[in-house]
Amino acid sequence: MGGPRFEPVRAVRAYERVVEQIEEAVESGALTPGERLPSERELMVQFSVGRSTVREALRVLQARGLVRSRPGDPNGAEVLPFSPVVLKKSMTTLARVSELSLGELVQFRMVLDATAVLLAARLRTEEHLAEMAAAVDDMKAADAADAAAFGAADAAFHDAVARAGGNKLIQVCTDVVRAVMAGLVEDRLARAPDREALMRRGVAHHEDVIAALRAGDGPLAARLTRQSMYDYYAGHLPAEERAALRALLE
Amino acid sequence: MGGPRFEPVRAVRAYERVVEQIEEAVESGALTPGERLPSERELMVQFSVGRSTVREALRVLQARGLVRSRPGDPNGAEVLPFSPVVLKKSMTTLARVSELSLGELVQFRMVLDATAVLLAARLRTEEHLAEMAAAVDDMKAADAADAAAFGAADAAFHDAVARAGGNKLIQVCTDVVRAVMAGLVEDRLARAPDREALMRRGVAHHEDVIAALRAGDGPLAARLTRQSMYDYYAGHLPAEERAALRALLE
DNA sequence: GGTCATTTGTGCGTATGTATC
DNA sequence: GGATACATACGCACAAATGAC
């Protein structure tokens, strides 16, 4: 008793150790985006593992969005800047396997987008406001039949708001959830009979939000944002989910 | 002009096509958690690819948390139920490479946890309230020196609240962000001089939240939750981040 | 624009350790 | 304990793609 307390060891795969080392180098900043990893044959020498081990490690790193490798590239795998595509992917998986309802997604965005505008009311600059106004102009200019252009402009607006709010986590999450929602319901929305009216109302709402932000009235901007989200999606929700959403309109 | 509109083709790797097919089978429910994939040798026959291709595909699927394979397992890779570990991983990466501040994380949880309790005030059952009460009891029972036990009980409380709120996305996200925060600041909190006072205050706050939920007063419960989060972390934040948080206390 | 060395993508054979029966 | 089937890992060979000269 009182001897050394040995810890149970779990067999850790060779490729995992390769992943850990490269991952640490990337996340710590020792490798910056745009830099290149050594070639696979060079890596197998440095780690003293086989090439298949190196390749499996690179696949995992690629799946995590940290590097990208192309066939024949003499420079080796490229270190990538952070991108939310991996988050989007795993959240899309979450939506599919746990069967997230549209109502849950709308609820999530109602809360986070409203928070973003609330924060933006304190921190917004003239540049931010100009970006938002430009996005709204694009929404107006979009052909009524071109749902993709309208959606892209809408996304640009919300991204500008989120950036103005200054919380990168909220910015990424709203972006991810918006993309997931678009993938789930874009065709349904594009065929809605009252689509044009919804689009016009959305533009008007966005202009009201800009006015509130310019005036520095965060709570008003947040209310407008929640109401806008509710109006846009409520028609596509069953009654009980609509009720859950109204609980957030305060 | 007016001819067929050809789309640009991107060379898609063999292992990617294997990943897509298995992923679709898992996410569509054709393969349910606990089921086994065919062995690697069987898969290389079915997809008519080489062994390395199969293995790289399995690595990607494993990195996405869909399957797990163990050496020597005669049954082949196992299909896994959804777990938020992949989301945790990518959000931790986000936190590291985009240098998320503690303030941004706290802000995020203040908003989403407050929303969860607001929703829980409408939907909570007696079972939910009993779970919350049990978690608070565990927090009280935790030794003052055992930060891990206290944290686990606190996590159980918030998880019960999030489940009562009925939004699975909010539940997962708050859980993920709590884990990320714990990884970043657990040692700092464990060594705080006023740790015991913070713990006592946290317990009292949680009991107030339960009382508000029992009374069905969602807005009160939400305010209490935001205030509790602020009190617990404000001491570890620089002044300007504290100010941004106070903007959410309303 | 073309040639060529290099690299990645892929397939295959083999040895080894492990889990299950 | 032994037999069997499996995953892990190594190393080589060839095709396709890339980048540099």
* pLDDT mean over A12-20: 91
Does residue A1 surpass a pLDDT of 60? Answer: no
Among A3-7, A107-111, B212-216, where is mean pLDDT lowest?
Answer: A3-7
Distance between CA atoms of residues A204 and A250, nearest Å: 21
Judged against a pLDDT cut of 60, whether residue A224 lies above it is answered with: yes
Average pLDDT over residues B164-193: 87
Residue of least CA–C1' distance to C6: A74
The pLDDT assigned to A189 comes to 73
Tens digits of residue pLDDT in B187-234: 777 777 788 888 889 899 999 999 999 999 999 999 999 999 999 888
Residues B64, A89: C-beta atoms closer than 8 Å: yes
Q: Choose the mutation target among B20, B104, B167 for the interface with A, i.e. most A CBs under 10 Å.
A: B167
pLDDT at residue B9, as a whole number: 67
B71 beta carbon < 7 A from strand C? yes
A89 with B64: CB under 8 angstroms? yes
Residues B112 and A105 sit within 8 Å (Cβ to Cβ): no
Straight-line distance from CA B90 to C1' D13, in Å? 38
Among the partner-chain residues A94, A108, A173, the one whose CB lies closest to the CB of B82 is A94
CA of B57 to C1' of D4 (A): 26
Give per-residue pLDDT as tens, A172-199. Answer: 999 999 998 988 877 777 777 788 888 8
Residue numbers 35-54 of A with CB closer than 7 A to any atom of strand D: 44, 48-53
pLDDT at A5 > cutoff 80: no
Whole-angstrom distance, CA of residue B152 vs CA of residue B154: 5
- pTM: predicted TM-score of the whole model, two decimal places: 0.88
C-alpha angle B205-B210-B211 in degrees, rounded to nearest 5: 95
Q: Which residues have C-beta within 8 Å of that of residue A10, sequence separation ≥ 6?
A: none
Q: Collect contacts of A74-80 with beta carbons under 8 A, ≥24 apart.
A: A74/A39, A75/A36, A76/A36, A76/A37, A76/A38, A76/A39, A76/A40, A76/A42, A77/A36, A77/A37, A78/A34, A78/A35, A78/A36, A78/A37, A79/A26, A79/A31, A79/A32, A79/A33, A79/A34, A79/A35, A79/A36, A79/A37, A80/A33
What is the predicted pLDDT for the residue at B95?
Answer: 86
